[in-house]
Amino acid sequence: MRPALNEAEGIVAVLEAWQPLRSRGVEIVLAGGGSTDDTPRRAAPWVDVVTASARGRARQMNAGASRGC
């Protein structure tokens, strides 16, 4: 799981590096914290789930975990 907030510029590079994990069955969840940039749209093709919550690492991680990770 990856909490993210306004990371549009670098998010694809991070998620691209994690793609070998997906081929081994690891589910990648992006836990968004209300980005005002293009982070969720850019991340969507590289993850299995995009979820949104209020800002804050703990809130974002809990929102992602509740999606069934």
Asked if residue 46 has pLDDT above 70, the reply is yes
Ranking 25-29, 40-44, 57-61 by mean pLDDT, the lowest is 57-61
Asked if residue 69 has pLDDT above 90, the reply is no
Each domain of the chain, given as residue ranges in start order, spans 2-65
pLDDT of residue 1: 77
The residue whose two tokens read 């690492």 is: 57
Which pLDDT tens digit goes with each residue over 19-40?
Answer: 999 999 999 999 999 999 999 9
pLDDT of residue 68: 59
Query: Is the CB of residue 45 less than 8 Å from the CB of residue 22?
Result: no
User: What average pLDDT does the chain have?
Assistant: 91
